[in-house]
Structure 1
Amino acid sequence: MQRLLFIMITLAALVSPAMGEKFDPARWEKSIAGLEAKDAKTTPSKNGVVFIGSSSIRKWDLPKYFPGQAVINHGFGGSHLEDSVYYADRLVTPLQPRAVVLYAGDNDVGHGYQPERIKDAFLKFVDKVHAKLPETEILFIAVKPSISRWKLVDQVRATNRLISAECEKSDLLTFIDVDAPMLGEDGKPRAELFQKDGLHMTDAGYQIWTKLVQPEIAK
């Protein structure tokens, strides 16, 4: 019986990111190099706003929603918050932004990461950015409630509570709560805000996010 239990735990560690998957940011190297090449061609303005994180950032048409503003999209789809930490020295600090908008943690929850682990990754991101840019504001968009991951909403909200509490400790950290605005009268995610996969957002979803983010980056 003990041997069977040992085998089960070992197998779980091999397949579960929450328990045993080795953190491997190298899987994003091609995407990161592509973003760097784009920067080299366009030379983003210093003192702008860098958006970084997973596919909800990558799919955000920033020029459309933030016209005439110095916004840079450094999202890379499918990534975890730990990936944004790892690549902050290549995607954030070289641009010397006045503010950073971060959305990550969605895939972390989906892959079984515990809220504490995600919160710790957020703090590492903050430390890494502020080590070189101590006055840069960091805005964290709450992990969104979605149709496809609704069964994980308790973990999503636990993660958001932890990160929100950390943001309250510093004037340079802002927590942008998108939970309530994305819910209908039934208390569940509004269908019109999501694409067919129930995870990625439609223009209607991005309109909500833009309305919440714009006042913060305009300060």
Structure 2
Amino acid sequence: MTFRSPFRALVSCALLAAVAAGSAVAKDVPTTVKAVPHVRQMARHEKINERVKQGDIDLVFIGDSITQGWEGNGKDVWKKYYDKRNAANLGIGGDRTQHVLWRLENGNIDGISPKLAVLMIGTNNSNGNDNTAEEIGAGITAIVEKLRKELPEMKILILAIFPRGEKPSPQREKNAKASEIASKLADDEMVYYLDIGPNFLEEDKTLTREVMPDLLHLSPKGYEIWAESIEPHVAKLMGEQ
């Protein structure tokens, strides 16, 4: 028969309690704030890193496929508004907040000092029951905090998550709530917030395929609306006015 000393028993209980507490804490941390790579988009990630290594970047757009689309349906609008501003597109299709966090830790902002970052992220996190509005808001907050830490002289313009789907829906509501959480980050000194979503909508709050052909991604007209809507703010925050 084996006897355990009271001390060893106490230590064992303490260790088990610590492990249990650690597991509880881990479960409480939402996926939106845990930096992870988007493994199917590593080629795009490396392409962005190569652009960043070239330097001469005064403006960055950070986001998912809607941002990456500046190189597709938005290319002519980009050329009109942003080529002259030494802008870089840091958008990757399918990205969620956790993927952006990983990219910011793995080269996407290394060695550059932009004047302004335009951030629009979170819609992919809102799919199904993957994340709550609060979790998405926490992910956006983590990104802004990372940018503030690494590039303290850069201003940040947070855009509310764009509306999606033909009509108002629970998913739109979730994104709107997440955006409202993100809006509280604005101090109007280094961090700013802007909701241009209504500019994409009809009076009855519906989306047309003329603006978003698949009711999520933008058409050339949609990118024109985006650029026109933020232009006064971009000009001001980049010190052009």
Q: Give the alignment's TM-score, normalised by structure 2.
A: 0.73
- How far residue 158 of structure 1 moved from its aligned partner, in angstroms, is 0.8
SS at match of 2:185: helix
SS at match of 1:100: strand
What is the aligned counterpart of 1:54 among 64, 67, 72? 64
CA RMSD in angstroms comes to 2.4
Q: Per-residue CA shift, 1:165-196, capped at 9, x if unaligned?
A: 222x352111121221111022222331112x
What is the aligned counterpart of 2:55 among 26, 35, 44? 44
Instruction: Indicate the residue corresponding to 2:42 in structure 1.
Output: 29
Q: 2-side partners of 1:26 and 1:210: how far apart?
A: 27
Instruction: Indicate the residue corresponding to 2:181 in structure 1.
Output: 162
SS at match of 2:229: helix
141-150 or 186-195, larger mean C-alpha shift: 141-150
Q: AA paired with 1:131?
A: K
Q: 2-side partners of 1:154 and 1:130: how far apart?
A: 28
Q: 1-side partners of 2:224 and 2:44: how far apart?
A: 26
SS at match of 1:139: strand
- How far residue 54 of structure 1 moved from its aligned partner, in angstroms, is 0.1
Contact 1:136 1:172 in 2 (8 A): yes
Q: AA paired with 2:37?
A: P
201-210 or 111-120, larger mean C-alpha shift: 111-120
Q: 2-side partners of 1:139 and 1:75: how far apart?
A: 15
Higher Rg: 2
Q: AA paired with 2:43?
A: K
* Larger RCO (CA under 8 A, 6+ residues apart): 2
Contact 2:119 2:159 in 1 (8 A): yes
The 1:209/1:32 distance shift into structure 2, 3 A limit, reads: same
1:200 aligns with 2:210: no
What is the aligned counterpart of 2:97 among 81, 90, 113? 81
Unmatched runs of 5 consecutive residues or more in structure 2: 1-29, 237-241
Contact 2:167 2:205 in 1 (8 A): no
Q: AA paired with 1:97?
A: P
Q: Give the alignment's TM-score, normalised by structure 1.
A: 0.80
Q: Structure 2 matches for 1:46-195, cutoff 5 A?
A: 46=57, 48-60=58-70, 61=75, 62-89=78-105, 90-111=107-128, 112-147=130-165, 150-151=168-169, 152-167=171-186, 169-195=187-213
Instruction: Indicate the residue corresponding to 1:14 in structure 2.
Output: none
Runs of 4+ in 1 over 3 A off after TM superposition: none
Q: 1-side partners of 2:35 and 2:56: how far apart?
A: 32
